[in-house]
Amino acid sequence: MKPNLEAIKYKNNKLEILNQLLLPDSFVYEDCISVEQGWQSIHQMKVRGAPAIAITAALSLACELYHLEDKYSVTGLKKYIFDKLDYLCTSRPTAVNLFKMSDQMKSLIENVVNKDKEIDPKKLKQIFIENAENLLEKDISDNKAIGQFGSECFPLNKKIKILTHCNTGSLATSGYGTALGIIRSLHSNNKLEHAYATETRPYNQGARLTAFELVYENIPSTLITDSMVSFLMKEKGIDGVVVGADRVVANGDTANKIGTYQLAIAAAYHNVPFYVAAPITSIDCTKNNGSEIHIEERPKHELTHINGIQIAAKGIDVWNPSFDITPAKLITGIVTELGVIPKNLDGEFNIKEFLLKKQ
Ligand code: MRU
């Protein structure tokens, strides 16, 4: 059996990340044992995908703390950790997982220091390291639960044809994946007829990464261009669309890879159920609606060039938002590790209520 694909490898206080800029041609792991390496890997998109970004940030700091000389007082160490977390949060702006991880780590450290006035700085480091390590395992088990809940959204009596966008698989998480996890789950339960993946212009996460994962695991699948989705729905009888999320806000509006919004519009027109797969770490109830989400804009050359070769007319202006916001209205259900967040009779999500009930 082939080994599982891993975007993030962590063992004995050493973090390595798969350089996704080189995929699908080369499969190269690089050391990521300092905060600077973590920041650069995320910023340059060697590692990408909302959960993988947060886990890489936490583990790069864990590695740095492991090697840090023991010269800091508890107050000094706490400031060191908080400053590094703030720095890591400047690497990319849209996926909320990074910011939630940082807030959770800060309140963990704060609580520990407040509770135990005598705590040894070495112990404090160890607590951070253990909690960062736990994120890896938790992400995989959450994704498997999402896969299971997601596969139960589809009829039992037929094999499913499903469409996905961007890359939400093992390469975007610590393993298995969210929306791609649902496809993996359907496939392993013998419920998948066919998966379709968009190429996901302009960064091509679909063509380079999702296609790579689908081929790697022999999942029956076909690549299409982003502009083919409406015709695909009309011609092929798609049973559902599953996508990931970089940030789901309190009313269910969802930021995800650019192109997700138009996919949801096409799905609504063709009566195709449209599911967002998102671990709780991707949910941000501090924002009420999608207009409050900061959307990353990326460099022009991602549109004008492919592999360094100019394909667009020289001098043309370019707009390159990396994400868009799909209104909650167009989303059928949000699949989390705690179950599928349903809509009420008014067709609205009440995410806060769902979380209160389940957590
Ligand atoms: O720019 P990227 O490649 O980091 O964007 C990734 C996505 O938009 C994914 O759909 C999202 O992060 C969910 S990954 C489980």
- pLDDT tens per residue, range 275-295: 999 999 999 999 999 999 999
Is 86 a known active-site residue? Answer: no
Residue nearest to atom 15 of ligand 1 (CA): 168
Output the CA 221–ligand 1 centroid distance in Å: 20
Ligand 1 atom nearest to 257, measured from its CA: 8
**Residues 242 and 166: beta-carbon distance below 8 Å:** no
Which atom of ligand 1 lies at the shortest distance from residue 322's CA? Answer: 1
ipTM exceeds 0.90, yes or no = yes
Taking only the tens place, the pLDDT of each residue in 21-72 is: 999 999 999 999 999 999 999 999 999 999 999 999 999 999 999 999 999 9
pLDDT digit string (tens) for 172-228?
999 999 999 999 999 999 999 999 999 999 999 999 999 999 999 999 999 999 999
Q: Please say whether the beta carbons of 57 and 99 come within 8 A.
A: no
**Residue 98 CB less than 6 A away from ligand 1:** no
Q: Which residues is 255 bridged to in the sheet? A: 247, 325
Between the CA of 120 and the centroid of ligand 1 the distance, in Å, is 39
Binding residues for substrate: 48-50, 92, 205, 256-257
Residue 207 token pair: 């063509």
Angle, helices 96-115/121-151, rounded to nearest 10 degrees: 140
- CA-nearest residue, atom 8 of ligand 1: 257
Question: For residue 173, which atom of ligand 1 is closest to its CA?
Answer: 15
| Cβ neighbour number for residue 155 with a 10 Å cutoff | 10
Is residue 52 within 6 Å of ligand 1 at its C-beta? no
Residue 5: both structure tokens together: 């694909």
For residue 256, give the H/E element and its range.
strand 254-257
Q: Does ligand 1 come within 6 angstroms of the Cβ of 48? A: yes
User: pTM of the entire structure?
Assistant: 0.97
Q: Does the beta carbon of 7 lie inside 6 Å of ligand 1? A: no
Q: Which of 139, 142, 246, 284 is catalytic?
A: 246
Q: Is the pLDDT of residue 239 over 90?
A: yes
